[in-house]
Amino acid sequence: MEEGTGTGGPLFQTYGAKGRTVYKIYASFILMCILSILSYRLTHIPDEQDGVRWAWMAMLSSELWFSFYWIITQSARWNPIYHQTFKHRLSQRHGNELPCVDVFVCTADPVAEPPSLVVSTVLSVMAYDYPSEKLSVYLSDDAGSELTFYALWEACKFSKYWLPFCKKFEVEPRSPGACFFKQSFHSSSNNLSTTKEWSKMKDMYEEMINRIEFVVRQGKVPQELKQHQGFSKWSSEMTSRNHDAIIQILIDEKDENSVDLDGNLLPRLVYMAREKRPQHHHNFKAGAMNALLRVSSEISNSPIILNVDCDMYSNNSQSIRDALCFFLDEEKGHDIGFIQYPQYFDNITKNDLYATSFNVINEVELCGLDSWGGTLYIGTGCFHRREALKGRKYSKDYIEDWKRGSLDKRRVESPSVLEDRAKPLASCTYEHNTLWGKEIGLRYGCAVEDILTGLTIHYNGWKSRYFNPQRRGFLGLAPTALEPSLVQFKRWSEGHFQIFLSKYSPLLFGHQKIKLGLCMGYSIYNLWALNSFPTLTYILIPPLFLLKGISLFPKVSTAWFLPFALVFIAKQAYSLIEALYCGDTFMGWWNSQRMWVFRRITSFLYGAVDNIFKLFGVSKLAFTITEKVNDGDALKQYEQEVMEFHSASPMFVIIGTVALLNAFCLVGGVMRMVNMNKGAAGMDALLIQVVLCGVVVAINVPIYEGLFLRKDKGCMPSSVTFASLGAAMLACLLTLV
């Protein structure tokens, strides 16, 4: 190990983003404009008449909030950093003496997350370019479904062919689903896709998927399999909410069947369904992860844990080696608690209608947080140091035992002994009166338990690194309809705001434990929910006052107009440039502007209100799984980038009302100006309101179409149309009388 150190250099290298001076000049310029806007508001407070004063105060409060929020977002843009890894040095220095790695895949519902999808993910992580005897893959099935187990059992058989095939032809990506059905795969032999082996493999895969889908449609596994020891653990009385713990080691190195076609060892494969009882709270995914932590400590106990969602396959067989370059670096590796990969999606259409791709967050903001010593743990695509995840505090004297797991004596025990020993660890009552969920493992009681867990790891003194290589490490599936996407953001904003209000709040209590920049960085997301109120103020009050013909902004002919215009133009221009730089298209940027407004006025509003209710003990935490599959019609609309409304969601009523209200006010306000022959003077005073209103109308074009023009299945339900029309007209009438 020593020889390599001198010649080798570090295992990873960090460099900063370019153009930071330009950015800092831009930011100072915006700051000056913001200060002028605030001083305008403060020095021009109107006398009390027609309620103008309260409207002015509301605008002032919103602008104060936006200024404050803008300042905290600077932490993520001040100094983004990037990393490069040197995997050849890792091989030179460590050879095959690498640490053991456990992979946790979590699934929760065989309907929303079909077993055929889970299987592709599991196979992709089994096929990592890593010594098989050091790799253990665990699938946690929170539905305790026989169907998922059946799929895994099929995958286990298929892996004996798939793994040698991948290794022989260096196929990438190694998820069979992605490899056979996407055009973008690579292999060492150029014309692989025309060979016999390829078509044989593809047929085999399709046959397996057909068998799995047949069993899923039937809803039960074939009778003849019931004799097989694994399936006998399911009985007809079992339900997903009420069953015993099931742990099954499908592949184990002591078993002579656990080799592939070429006689090479396969990675260990374990199925776990923790015990579920209606009277015990199961704590969702955090509960499953904690059960996996304990069960795996009995079976493999590897020092490194990779955690992926079941819909997120590995797109790069080198990812484990990349991650180890960070952990094993002699200089800078000792205090790293986790390595987070970005969440990218496989299912994004060209212009990303629902703005689900997070390009800007992935390419800029998370790199920015990295420079403060920590990026967020986002619940998937993350490599953890087991000890840090279990709650150990960082100390300089701590030396990681990288050999742990591989030399353990438990390795000589038979699978059934291990299963029996691990089973009590997955019981409902195991955690009673322990610190699990409070100080050990993932934290409970938060809608974004992963973020909270990452935060406590930072509080414990560990750093995290964000690794975003050009070739994506993991690819998942994004929601393909409007409502699920808004519901997802509701959960995130709610959970984040909950963290802000808790004793863990980075902005309020984090200063002594982590850097100020990181406190601010966390707060960008923690405070998402609170953006809802000022945004609503800004897109409801100016249009209503435009309708009345009352100005809330400076005249175009005065100097005060400048800062407003400059902030508006400069911020939009910057956000456009940033989005293009991060890989969005122009239309994609435009779509994302719309989606951020929708999120703020619906998801974030719900998130904020739910938390406020919770403070008074009214509402309870509810977790919704976002649907990953859609029926044919909806999918076609998604591919054509047509918005899908369909359900009569109250969120759509809010969106519809805001869109219609702005349209009415724009028309009414401009007509009033024309009728009263005050064209020029009116424009002078009301231009900003007209522009603001015009922009809101422009981004809402798909909403008007959905409300009035479209007749297909995905248009707005008529109840939503009537409710929005009624609410918007009522608001306009009340303003006018």
Ligand X SMILES: *[C@@H]1O[C@H](CO)[C@@H](O)[C@H](O)[C@H]1NC(C)=O
Stretch that binds ligand X, among 86-94, 503-511, 603-611, 629-637 (CB under 6 A): 629-637
Report whether 203 belongs to an annotated binding site: no
Catalytic residue from among 329, 346, 352, 450: 450
Question: DSSP character for 264?
Answer: P
Is 309 marked within a binding site?
yes
Nearer to ligand X, 67 or 630 (CB): 630
Q: What part of residues 637-666 is at the interface with ligand X (CB under 6 A)? A: 639
CA distance 301 to 493: 34
Contact flag: residue 190 with ligand X (CB under 6 A)? no
Distances 11 to 129, 305, 322, 367, 401 between C-alpha atoms, Å: 18, 20, 9, 19, 19
Rounded Cα gap, residues 517 and 504, in angstroms: 16
**SS (HEC) of 702-734:** HHHHHHHHCCCCCCCCHHHHHHHHHHHHHHHHH
Nearer to ligand X, 184 or 512 (CB): 184
**CA neighbor of 139 nearest in space, from 128, 149, 129:** 149
Buried b (16+ CB within 10 A) or exposed e, 121-138: bbbbbbbbbbebbbbbbb
- Active-site residue, from 142, 252, 352, 610: 142
Q: How far is CA 101 from the centre of its chain?
A: 23
**Residue number, 256 or 631, with CB nearest to ligand X:** 631
Q: Is 142 a catalytic residue?
A: yes
The window from 65-73, 183-191, 279-287, 416-424 that contacts ligand X (CB under 6 A) reads 183-191
Buried b (16+ CB within 10 A) or exposed e, 537-548: bbbbbbbbbbbb
Q: Which is nearer to ligand X, 485 or 498 (CB)?
A: 485
CA distance 288 to 281: 12
Q: Give the C-alpha separation, 181 to 637, whole Å.
A: 21
Q: Which lies closer to ligand X via its Cβ, residue 41 or residue 628?
A: 628
Return d(Cα 719, Cα 120) in angstroms, integer. Answer: 41
Contact 265, 251 (CB under 8 A): no
Region near ligand X per CB under 6 A, out of 184-192, 207-215, 610-618, 673-681 = 184-192
Q: State yes or no: 631 annotated in a binding site.
A: no
Nearer to ligand X, 438 or 471 (CB): 471
- Determine if 112 is a binding residue for ligand X (CB under 6 A): no
**Nearest approach, Cβ of residue 183 and ligand X (Å):** 9
Q: 134 with 98: CB under 8 angstroms?
A: yes
* 185 is a contact residue toward ligand X (CB under 6 A): yes
The answer to the question of residue 633 lying near ligand X (CB under 6 A) is no
| Window 314-353: residues binding ligand X (CB under 6 A) | 315, 344, 347, 349
Site string for ligand X, 444-483 (x = CB under 6 A): ---------------------------xx----x--x---
Q: Which stretch in 78-86, 179-187, 482-490, 729-737 sits in contact with ligand X by CB under 6 A? A: 179-187
Output the CA angle 479-114-127, nearest 5 degrees.
95
142 annotated ligand-binding residue: yes
Q: Are strands 474-476 and 313-314 parallel, antiparallel or unpaired?
A: antiparallel
Contact between 77 and ligand X (CB under 6 A)? no
**Residue 684 annotated among the catalytic residues of the structure:** no
- CA torsion 669-675-681-684 (nearest 10°) is 30
Q: Does 629 bind ligand X (CB under 6 A)?
A: yes
Binding site for ligand X (CB under 6 A): 172-173, 184-186, 315, 344, 347, 349, 471-472, 477, 480, 628-630, 635, 639
Q: Annotated binding site for Mn(2+), which residues?
A: 285, 309
Binding-site entries for UDP-alpha-D-glucose: 113, 142
Active site residues: 142, 450
